[in-house]
Amino acid sequence: MKRPEILSPAGNLEKLKFAVDFGADAVYLGGKLFNLRAKAGNFTLEEMAQGIEYAHKRGVKVYITLNAFARNDDFKSIEKFVDEVKELKPNAFIVSDLGVLSTVKERAPEIDVHISTQANTTNYRAVKVYRDLGASRIVLARELSIPEIRRIKEEVPEMELEVFVHGAMCMAYSGRCLLSNYLSYRESNKGACSQSCRWKYYLVEETRLGEFIPIEEDENGTYIFNSKDLCALPVLDELVSAGVDSLKIEGRVKSAYYVAVVTSVYKRALNLLLSDKELFKKELPTLYSELEKVSHRPYTLGFLKGGDEILQHYETSSYIRDYKFLGIHRGNLWDVRNRLEVGDEVEVFTPSANVLKLKILGIYVEKKGKFVPSGAANPNQRALIEFDREVEIPENSLLRRREVKTPSLSSV
């Protein structure tokens, strides 16, 4: 089996660095306009230059999202954006609109073009058309099964195939949705989705205003459009054997902690799979449990196994957040992100996805250039932390604390 890349989200410069440091082979990011994550921090041109330089120095590729659906009046701005960004030498533009595709090919022919999942490519003939138009990669529609993905690769082996393996899913076909436009006047196809599908709905009969009738699938079932989150880790071996070239993680609006943990887990799983398949299977439950320690909705395989399971989560649109991110290790210090205290039982998550379980015995916070004893450390402080045993903690390791009892894991 050939090695696919791990492709991670970079909602801002800090998240890009987390993705790179925790094992991403490539990252994708957007500018301030014309990408489908308007609520992500996104990048100014200067930040984009810094991010591309940081990634390229470490052998990591950078793809620029330009995947909003354009209108006539958008193209002057799009042309200017392409002209400016191409000078930074990204590895590819990700587009969904045919007009944007032609613009990129005309103004930046030296840069690869990837076709976004928004183009909802579901068959090999469409892949061949995009190949003939000059695209080098297709981000396949999330509605495809693994056998369908394999068939596309067999029919068009020269085309790179990118598949989402983790993160939030949209109830609309390939993300093409108008709910947000109608209910909150925010255009989802230009990146401003208000996630109206996550709302809790009631019915109101025309002549009985004020009488709200719950919509029930069962006693909890009013979140009728609310999709579960995708987690393809249990079928990673099948995706790799199908010939997938890029394993894509969703989450440009997620936290830096999410980006780091998910990237690291998939990278370690891929390394195990390609070196020792039996060891991969043995370690799979442990790696899966790490993915339950980031903010997520209940997981699903989506359509990868045919879509026979229930893909909607009816009970609530809230995330499961059992762990709190406390800080990141820099040299021998910790950059504190959330309050931590002496006596806390914590975990250190390393860039290689190893976990150390420790207890905090002492905290020394920085004040006026000195480190003084303290019972706690607060966000934005730097601290020295004494644990209950001496361990070597790698650079960029993450500190976290379990906030609630984690439910027992279902078998993988």
Q: pLDDT-based confidence at 197, cuts 50/70/90? A: low
pTM given for the model: 0.85
Q: Where are the alpha helices (DSSP H) in 22-123?
A: 45-57, 75-86, 98-107
Residue-wise pLDDT for 312-336, tens only, equals 555 555 667 889 999 999 999 999 9
Indicate the residue type of 44: T
Residue-wise pLDDT for 33-88, tens only, equals 776 555 656 899 999 999 999 999 999 999 999 988 889 999 999 999 999 999 99
CATH topology of domain 5-168+231-300: TIM Barrel (3.20.20)
Pairing mode, strands 246-249 and 160-168: parallel
DSSP state of 27: E
Comparing 284 with 173, the larger pLDDT belongs to 284
User: What dotted CATH number matches 323-402?
Assistant: 2.40.30.10
Helix or strand (DSSP H, E) at 409: none
Q: pLDDT-based confidence at 187, cuts 50/70/90? A: low
Q: Write 106-115 long-range contacts (CB < 8 A, 24+).
A: 107/79, 107/82, 107/83, 108/82, 108/83, 110/86, 111/86, 112/136, 112/137, 113/137, 114/63, 114/138, 114/139, 114/160, 114/162, 115/139
Domain with CATH 3.20.20.60 in the chain: 5-168+231-300
Pairing mode, strands 112-115 and 137-139: parallel
How far apart (Å, rounded) are the C-alpha atoms in residues 379 and 402? 17
What pLDDT was estimated at residue 69?
A: 87
Domain with CATH 2.40.30.10 in the chain: 323-402
How far apart (Å, rounded) are the C-alpha atoms in residues 54 and 244? 26
Q: pLDDT-based confidence at 184, cuts 50/70/90? A: low
Q: Which of 211-220, 297-306, 356-365 has the lowest mean pLDDT?
A: 211-220
